[in-house]
A and B are shown apart, each in its own frame.
Chain A
């Protein structure tokens, strides 16, 4: 739903979506973060139309019912004169059942029961910590998100971002020719694929299934900045903090994951992409439409000069006018709507790449070599199916496989 850095003070709020439900996330006067449906208890009108801000009250624009920033119904115009039976204590904003925080990231669920956040994240925390816990201060989201609505199914941009290493050099060929490593003539190959979409090197790269979540990573500790035109200050800062991260998180995460192009997919709709340094949430808007919200992110300690490079880079590559982002919406739309035709609908897609290929990996999860691989996408659809077929929220998590020993904690 959001991040602590966006609402640090009492009264700070932001609006987001959980599915198609409009939700207000707010830090109350008591400092606690809560989330509520953005709907007045009287007639259901929205009580907040601002995207973010700071307030003591959310006042409905219809009849003026006012709620405090802890969700209580605080004032009803003409209350004494017109109501004999109104119990304000029972008419507060409807809370999101559970709001939980993992190292600054705020998550919510409408489910009263089922796994807690930490249980739900499970071993994914090992990977998330590379971004969320690389320093004691942790990560922050920077700026207002880019928001784009596309006429496609929400699952397509998710699995594209978390696992489709195959499309990068071809779908984005035009952009790849002009940005970063290849554009500047610094390298013949980037992210494992040669300049002309030829050649392939899956050594030292992986996709990992940590059901229900996934990770893709180049494991080289630097190629997260391969698409930057001016990566120098970023890499300099990266190497400056690396020793402290190794000390904090161990060798595997400090040397192999930190700085690598690493795409973390938290099921269902959150992607945290280190290197490109962006965080995206895909909001479904019915079966044929979705909204992408894209934020820049950085460790709080990052010097302003480096943050500025990151923010500009996110805008130029994956913002609303990002030169890579624009390519993806096109096939997302086509894949969604091609099956409107009966005969086309009978087709089955195919995600069989690298099935059965395994590799040794010191972190948690089952790893497969190469980022050009379809493991993460298979895992995503497997979990989607598991969720849809689950009889209760207790059944949405896969059976725990035996925990793998991890060499470096």
Chain B
């Protein structure tokens, strides 16, 4: 018999059916965004959502923030209203960069679903590659990971919190105006 592997614990696994529903949900979310259906995407979020993307800290491991004014900064630090505002911008038809359309292809993988203290809330970890491509040769691919809190509601699954970690200190792209 194989030796029992010790796996870094986040929490207890959800049951298989829940894990399957969450995988389908995240795939559908990615497709909704790829298809620029922002209203449908917003409906997959809880209105209390906290959506963050911190800047990676390239400091020595021994260093801890001291009295300096340098501290963690967020690339995204959004409420539902701010996400709505970003979506509304995309829908104005006046974002010249996206006409002709910018194509986004999101691949979501390594999805792990764990239970939390709240039976209706799952701690979901995933990894993503987001390819954006426009015009002749303007292609950039971003790879990172996400920590989500996803809640089971009467209205289906909703994202309550998302923290995106994009391990690029210097962003080599014109912008990150895309939802991760």
Interface residues of A, Cβ cutoff 8 Å to B: 3, 5-9, 12, 14, 49-55, 140-150, 171, 173-175, 177-179, 183, 229, 291, 296, 311-312, 315-316, 319-323, 325-327, 329-330, 333
* Interface size classification for chain B: 35 or more
B68 CB-CB contact with A under 8 Å: yes
The reply to whether A175 and B89 form a contact with Cβ atoms under 8 Å apart is yes
The reply to whether A315 and B92 form a contact with Cβ atoms under 8 Å apart is no
B66 is contacted by which of A9, A145, A316, A323 (Cβ under 8 Å)? Answer: A9
With A327-B96, A327-B97 as known contacts, state yes or no: A321 contacts B82, CB within 8 Å.
no
Complex: chain B residue closest to A300, CB-CB = B69
The reply to whether A50 and B63 form a contact with Cβ atoms under 8 Å apart is yes
Complex: chain B residue closest to A183, CB-CB = B85
Tell me the interface secondary structure of chain B in the complex. Answer: loop
The reply to whether B57 and A144 form a contact with Cβ atoms under 8 Å apart is yes
Interface CB pairs A-B, < 8 A, 5: A8-B67, A52-B59, A54-B63, A325-B175, A330-B97
Residues facing A in B48-71 (CB within 8 A) are: 53, 55, 57-60, 63, 66-71
A52 is contacted by which of B70, B90, B172 (Cβ under 8 Å)? Answer: B70
B94 CB-CB contact with A under 8 Å: yes
Residues of A within 8 A of B6 (CB): none
B77 CB-CB contact with A under 8 Å: yes
The reply to whether B68 and A9 form a contact with Cβ atoms under 8 Å apart is yes
The reply to whether A173 and B171 form a contact with Cβ atoms under 8 Å apart is no
Distance in Å: Cβ of A228 to nearest Cβ of chain B = 12
Q: How far is the CA of A329 from the CA of B172 in the complex (A)?
A: 11
The reply to whether A312 and B77 form a contact with Cβ atoms under 8 Å apart is yes
The reply to whether A329 and B76 form a contact with Cβ atoms under 8 Å apart is no
Q: How far is the CA of A196 from the CA of B79 in the complex (A)?
A: 28
Q: How far is the CA of A9 from the CA of B70 in the complex (A)?
A: 13
Task: Please name the 10 residue pairs, one residue from A and one from B, whose CB atoms are nearest each other, closest first.
Answer: A326-B175, A329-B174, A143-B73, A321-B176, A174-B95, A53-B63, A173-B94, A174-B94, A5-B69, A326-B177
Residues of A within 8 A of B71 (CB): 142-144
The reply to whether B59 and A51 form a contact with Cβ atoms under 8 Å apart is yes
Residues of A within 8 A of B85 (CB): 178-179, 183, 229, 323
Complex: chain B residue closest to A329, CB-CB = B174
The reply to whether B176 and A178 form a contact with Cβ atoms under 8 Å apart is no
B3 CB-CB contact with A under 8 Å: no
The reply to whether A147 and B170 form a contact with Cβ atoms under 8 Å apart is yes
- Proximity bits, B65-105, A CB within 8 Å = 1, else 0: 01111111111111000100110111011111100000000
Q: How far is the CA of A329 from the CA of B66 in the complex (A)?
A: 34
Residues of A within 8 A of B117 (CB): none
B171 is contacted by which of A140, A148, A183 (Cβ under 8 Å)? Answer: A148
Q: How far is the CA of A315 from the CA of B79 in the complex (A)?
A: 13
B169 CB-CB contact with A under 8 Å: yes
Distance in Å: Cβ of B85 to nearest Cβ of chain A = 5
Q: How far is the CA of A53 from the CA of B64 in the complex (A)?
A: 8
The reply to whether B67 and A53 form a contact with Cβ atoms under 8 Å apart is no
Complex: chain A residue closest to B97, CB-CB = A330
The reply to whether B69 and A146 form a contact with Cβ atoms under 8 Å apart is no
B17 CB-CB contact with A under 8 Å: no
Residues of B within 8 A of A50 (CB): 58-60, 63
Residues of B within 8 A of A146 (CB): 55, 73, 75, 171
B173 CB-CB contact with A under 8 Å: yes
The reply to whether B90 and A174 form a contact with Cβ atoms under 8 Å apart is yes
B176 is contacted by which of A49, A173, A229, A320 (Cβ under 8 Å)? Answer: A320
Q: Tell which of B58, B70, B74 has the most Cβ of chain A within 10 Å.
A: B70
Residues of A within 8 A of B73 (CB): 142-146, 296, 311, 315, 319
Residues of A within 8 A of B90 (CB): 174
The reply to whether B66 and A54 form a contact with Cβ atoms under 8 Å apart is yes
Q: How far is the CA of A183 from the CA of B82 in the complex (A)?
A: 12
Residues of A within 8 A of B97 (CB): 326-327, 330
Distance in Å: Cβ of B11 to nearest Cβ of chain A = 30
Distance in Å: Cβ of B153 to nearest Cβ of chain A = 28
The reply to whether B177 and A323 form a contact with Cβ atoms under 8 Å apart is yes
B74 is contacted by which of A140, A315, A327 (Cβ under 8 Å)? Answer: A315
Starting from the known contacts A50-B60, A321-B176, A330-B97, 17 additional A-B residue pairs (CB-CB under 8 Å) come to: A7-B68, A9-B66, A12-B66, A14-B70, A140-B69, A142-B71, A143-B70, A147-B171, A148-B172, A174-B90, A174-B93, A315-B76, A319-B73, A320-B171, A321-B177, A322-B175, A326-B174
Residues of B within 8 A of A142 (CB): 69, 71, 73
Residues of A within 8 A of B169 (CB): 51, 147
Distance in Å: Cβ of B130 to nearest Cβ of chain A = 12
Q: How far is the CA of A178 from the CA of B174 in the complex (A)?
A: 20
The reply to whether A150 and B174 form a contact with Cβ atoms under 8 Å apart is yes
Residues of B within 8 A of A179 (CB): 85
A323 is contacted by which of B58, B63, B86 (Cβ under 8 Å)? Answer: B86
Q: How far is the CA of A148 from the CA of B96 in the complex (A)?
A: 20
Q: Tell which of B72, B92, B94 has the most Cβ of chain A within 10 Å.
A: B94
Q: How far is the CA of A9 from the CA of B63 in the complex (A)?
A: 14
The reply to whether B55 and A174 form a contact with Cβ atoms under 8 Å apart is no
The reply to whether A329 and B60 form a contact with Cβ atoms under 8 Å apart is no
